[in-house]
Amino acid sequence: MIAAGTMVLDGQVRRPGWLETAGGRILACGGGAPPRPVDADFPDGTVVPGFVDMHVHGGGGASYTDADGITAAAEFGLRHGTTTTLASLVTAPPAELLAGVRALADATRRGVVAGVHLEGPWLSRARCGAHDPAQMRDPDPAEIDALLDAGAGTIRMVTLAPELPGADDAIRRFRDAGVVVAVGHTDATYEQTEHAVALGATVGTHLFNAMPPLHHREPGPALALLRHPGVTVEVIADGVHVHPAVVRAVIEAAGPERVAMITDAIAAAGRDDGAFRLGAVTVDVVSGVARVRGTPTIAGSTATMDRIFRTVHAQAGLAVAAQTTSATPARALGLERVGGLCTGYDANLVVLDGNLRVAAVMVAGRWRGAASAATG
């Protein structure tokens, strides 16, 4: 039995609130005083659903492209409240990409991450961002089938540029395999993006970044993604990738149920400034901002989900912050029983202190790491 001064239960803010866990699930929850003596009480704390990061490359010095770093990267995210991680791979040669998928598929089966996100290699060279343009290629049915076989059901999302030759067939193939298709790193027109959505694309990868800017005569992919009610748009609310006023405008335009906050974090998250790698690309971090060496191009972020949560909370309030960091990304990925504090859901939660910093984390009904000490 857990009680707190504030809880976000089933999307509603309760002051106070309580929830009861059993067998790794939420047995019951409600507002007001708990029905029996509590096991953990946070009278000055706020309990929110565990964060769901649907686009992240690493953290704490570790990367999801390195088989030996997968667990460390996931544990770093967990310390910052991310209880569900979709591990992202960047553009790489075919054999290297296959090896990366196999390693993450094994990590998914072990419960370390919730699945794989292929961000590339089927991207626009004109909008490559921090990806290696020399390794970008058009979608190839044989490569797609090989990756799906290697993933064995663990590939949950793929980002591709819909204007590439073969993209239509790729979207259909991935959708048939139950993979969420995201439009990103693209030079597509408004019409090409609409076509991709009609074929089954349902996510916009880090909206506004690595795509043409919105123009009143050539609206491009951003407006097409924003306007479609069946599309969830990712936003990196780190204060670097997207201006705070634009973050607010996106939430107001699309609604929090269609906006998924992501970190797009790389291994540099949680580390001091310095040199890092993102796949084959060298990245320099200066004052916490990652850029491709020798260029002004932003290369992922150094953000964590708790930091993103605090940013959104300051702009849009507690309920919206909880929705966009948990329920919306969970729904976009088709994940069941995560993303909310509701009866029957997995007992994944984050306890935040008075400054909205992580005080404790629970995964499947178990306090993790130092969290157990925080509850006494």
Question: Which residues sit in the known binding site for substrate?
Answer: 130, 209-210, 217, 241, 298-300
The sign of the dihedral angle between the CA atoms of 319, 320, 321, 322 is: positive
For the chain, the residue count is 376
Yes or no: say if 243 and 220 are a contact pair by the CB < 8 Å rule: no
CA distance to 32, 121, 130, 204, 265, per residue, from 125 (Å): 55, 10, 11, 18, 22
Residues at the binding site for Zn(2+) are 119, 185, 206
> Which structure tokens are listed for 164?
């590439």
Cα gap 1→39, rounded to integer Å: 5
CA atoms within 13 A of residue 72's CA, in its CB half-sphere: 15
* Degrees to nearest 5, angle at CA 363 with 7 and 320: 35
Three-state secondary structure call for residue 6: strand
Residues at the binding site are 119, 130, 185, 206, 209-210, 217, 241, 298-300
Nearest residue to 113 (alpha-carbon basis) of 122, 123, 121, 101: 101
Q: What is the 3-state secondary structure (H, E, C) of 326-350?
A: HHHHHHHCCCCCCCCCCCCCECCEE
End-to-end CA distance of the chain: 13
**Residues labelled catalytic:** 264
Nearest residue to 64 (alpha-carbon basis) of 17, 41, 97: 97
User: Which residues lie closer than 8 Å to 59 by C-beta, 6 or more apart?
Assistant: 73, 76, 77, 80, 263, 265, 266, 267, 269, 270, 304
Yes or no: say if 173 and 144 are a contact pair by the CB < 8 Å rule: yes
